[in-house]
Amino acid sequence: MCGIVGYIGNQKAKEILINGLKSLEYRGYDSAGIATIENNKIDMVKEKGRVANLEASPEIGKLTGTIGIAHTRWATHGKPSKENSHPHMDNSNTFAVVHNGIIENYADLRKFLTDNGYSFISQTDTEVVPNLVHYYFSNDKSENTLNKFLTAVRKAVSDLKGSYALEIISSLFPDVIIVVRKDSPLVIGKGNGENFIASDIPAVLRYTKDFYLLDDNEFAVIYKDKINFYDSSLEPHNKEIKNIEWDASSAEKDGYEDYMLKEINEQPTAIRETIGSRFRLGEPCSFDDIDITKSYLESLNKIFIVACGTAMHAGLVGKAIIEKLCRIPTEVDIASEFRYRDPIIDEKTLCIFVSQSGETADTLAALRLSKSKGAKTLAVSNVIGSTITREADYTIYTHAGPEIAVASTKAYTSQVCLLAILGIYFAELLGSYPKVKLEELKSDILDLPSKIESVLDNTEKIKEFADKVYTQKDMFFLGRGTDYDVALEGSLKLKEISYIHSEAYAAGELKHGPIALIENGVTVIGIITNEKLVEKTISNLQEVITRGAKTFIITNQVLPNNNFSYCLNIPATNELISPILSVIPLQLLSYYISKNKGLDVDKPRNLAKSVTVE
Ligand code: F6R
């Protein structure tokens, strides 16, 4: 939610900031703005809408400074507009601020500042910040030093309740950018005679691979040739730099029309990388990064898997895998529900948090709650150094590479794959599942990349089906077992990028109500990959065909003669991991329906990729 970028060096800041904003647009895209400093004056340009509007602004030429901050917004307080877009300045135009997060007590702070003679231009929560900095700075009657600036920022920040990643510049100090964060991401890229700031690493990966990952309540004063770090009391300290191995091109479109299509096609590589060296046939799985023991697993009475959206759907498959292989009761919960429902957790509970971004506010809150109740916490994430990974007791990473499209694809399949490997690892420690069967499952996992490639070979067939159904108003997705988990994910994907209403049902549940919605011409997508459930699901599909539905079947089974409208065969694999293959036609179907409707696939309306607010 909201992306921020910063630059300080010898180049014109504007180009670098715009490039950074473009790659952060997935975090929000209803308005954008930049402020730079030149001749001890802050120049600012803001526009409603996409970063492209900002780039095309007639005013953009006035930004000539070599130090600047920038922002792309996902509106929380105040509608999308030029006034509400960032940066925001204080009343004297001395301080400019960009902010990602939410200031929960902004109304009180606004009243306090108004009572002290300040006025406001926007409806945002953020505008209190530059004015608070000004308030503390101007009430300090000492000489104007950098320390006075930093102290004013610290005092302002200590008044804030909520979450923030902040970049602050001042016309009085044109050689520095001050940054601080709490519960919102911020990284600093170290260059040679120049430094970069961003909400995530890919935004500035083309300029540097050396990053500092700012901690909560940590301040940094960034010059072009040095960076000083301070704790929450402004005590200076040294900080470890991390070299990031991602290839810069992995954050670019690489010739694809959209990031989503690129990321769908990257799934063979993402799965290969996620498997990595975690196992070889005939050898036990190893997770160097976690020291979970057999006796700890034996002591557990429950595992929770907690996540949001697509990550939660991956968790549903994880539950099926862990329960089957380990026989440990496993519950899946939506993080926003879990955190407020007083879940039964103690030291005998292992809580697994699945989050591509590692920044989702509800998932983070659920993690903190679980820790406070004595549970051990394990994060499954794709983003190194993200907040959730830093707070969890253990972290295991999917190695899907940066996922830029708002709709998650390769992160989902990598999460399912990693949860499967984790399930095998637990089962090997516990001795809870026949060794020979675990070896078969490992072999099936190793075969996934080539099987995904053969599913992708069917892209044209799926596109043809999309051409036929893209004008539909409603669609239904049916499946049983892990096929139902995939139905939920297929339905979410369709809703979010094609704006077609859809519902996913456990196939056997249909006749308990929703079948009333089936009428002539409605499209029903059936997923059938579990041999034991083939006949049951087919019976449910016949019920909808009888009522006039058109059916599109994704299966790895040999189906008896039938009257389905379309049938797509995918390679056979163990039913526990079949979602990794069966979801791909559904991802492609949503993608081509969205393209047919002329929509922005990568940036669907009202959505942002990283949901760092409740
Ligand atoms: C849907 C999608 C979202 C995310 C959800 C959790 O395509 O991407 O439903 O899965 O917002 O995000 P993370 O995994 O970053 O916690």
Residues with CB under 6 Å of ligand 1 are 308-311, 355-357, 360, 363, 407-408, 492, 496, 610-611
Check pLDDT > 80 for residue 35.
Answer: yes
Q: pLDDT value at position 248? A: 66
Please report the pLDDT score of residue 114 as a whole number: 98
What is the average per-residue pLDDT within 503-518? 91
Mean pLDDT score across all residues of the chain:
94
390 has a pLDDT exceeding 70: yes
Give the confidence band of 41 by pLDDT, cuts at 50, 70, 90: very high
CATH 3.40.50.10490 given to domain 458-596: yes
- Bridge partners of 302? 349
Report the first-to-last Cα separation within the chain, whole angstroms.
11
Segment 273-311, tens digit of pLDDT: 999 989 889 999 998 878 899 999 999 999 999 999 999
Looking at residue 66, what DSSP letter applies? S
pLDDT score of 120 more than 90: yes
pLDDT at 226 over 80: yes
Q: Where are the domains of the chain?
A: 3-251, 261-452, 458-596
Short-list 496, 470, 516, 486, CA closest to 576: 486
Provide the CATH number for the domain formed by 261-452 in this structure: 3.40.50.10490
Nearest by Cα to 85 from 124, 131, 41? 124
The alpha carbon of 210 and the centre of ligand 1 are apart by a number of angstroms equal to 27
Closest CA to 300 of 455, 200, 430, 126: 430
Model confidence at 563: pLDDT above 70: yes
Q: Is the pLDDT of residue 90 over 80?
A: yes
Residue 535 CA to residue 559 CA, distance in Å, equals 9
For residue 242, the CA-to-ligand 1 centroid distance in Å is 26
SS3 16: helix
- Residue 611: what pLDDT? 72
Residue of 27, 334, 353, 356 best suited for mutating to test ligand 1, as the one with most atoms within 8 Å of CB: 356
What is residue 147's predicted lDDT score, i.e. its pLDDT?
97
Place of tokens 């909808």: 544
Contact between 345 and 373 (Cβ < 8 Å) = yes
Question: Does residue 103 contact residue 160 with C-beta atoms inside 8 Å?
Answer: yes
Q: Is 471 helix (H, G, I), strand (E, B) or coil?
A: coil
Class of domain 3-251: alpha beta
CA 76 to ligand 1 center in whole angstroms: 18
pLDDT given at position 538: 92
pLDDT tens, 160-212? 998 899 999 999 999 999 999 998 889 999 999 999 999 988 899 999 999 99
| Section 46-57 average pLDDT | 93
- Length of the chain, in residues: 614
Q: How far is the CA of 412 from the centre of ligand 1 (A)?
A: 9
Query: So what's the pLDDT on residue 252?
Result: 75
Res 63 pLDDT > 80? yes
Q: Which helix (H) or strand (E) holds 167?
A: strand 162-170
What pLDDT score was predicted for residue 249? 66
d(CA 131, CA 140): 14
Angstrom distances, CA of residue 369 to CA of 85, 331, 363, 364? 34, 16, 10, 9
List of residues 6+ apart from 169 with CB closer than 8 A: 35, 37, 42, 67, 68, 69, 95, 96, 176, 177, 178
Dist. CA 411 → ligand 1 center (Å)? 9
Which residue out of 381, 408, 418, 496 has the highest number of ligand 1 atoms within 8 Å of its CB and is therefore the one to mutate? 408
Q: What residue's CA is closest to ligand 1, atom 13?
A: 355
Cis peptide before 87 (omega within 30 of 0): yes
Domains 261-452 and 458-596 share a fold: yes
Active site residue 2: yes
DSSP output for 168-216: EEETTEEEEEEEEEEBS--EEEE-SS-EEEESSGGGGTTT-SEEEEPPT
Of 278, 273, 584, the C-alpha closest to 400 is 273
What is the structure's pLDDT at 386? 86
The C-alpha atoms of residue 323 and residue 321 are separated, in whole angstroms, by 6
Predicted confidence at residue 338, as pLDDT, reads 96
The answer, yes or no, to whether residue 133 has pLDDT greater than 80, is yes
pLDDT at 479: 96
pLDDT band at 23, cuts 50/70/90? confident
pLDDT in tens, 244-255: 877 766 667 778
What are the phi and psi torsion angles at 14 (to 5°)? -55, -50
pLDDT at 1: 67
Rank 17-31, 246-260, 451-465 by mean pLDDT and report only the highest: 451-465
pTM above 0.85, yes or no: no
Examine the residue annotation and report whether 308 is marked as an active-site residue of this protein.
no
Report, as an integer, the average pLDDT of 327-353.
96
Of 22-31, 349-358, 407-416, 586-595, which gets the smallest average pLDDT? 22-31
Q: Mention every residue, 6+ apart, whose C-beta is less than 8 A from residue 223.
A: 8, 175, 176, 195
Catalytic residue among 2, 285, 351, 417: 2
Hey, what are 378's tokens? 């394990």
The sign of the torsion formed by the CA atoms of 204, 207, 209, 211 equals negative
Looking at the chain, the whole-number percentage of residues with pLDDT higher than 90 is 84
Q: Give the pLDDT of residue 183.
A: 83
**Furthest CA-CA distance within the chain:** 87
Band of residue 366 on the pLDDT scale cut at 50, 70, 90: very high
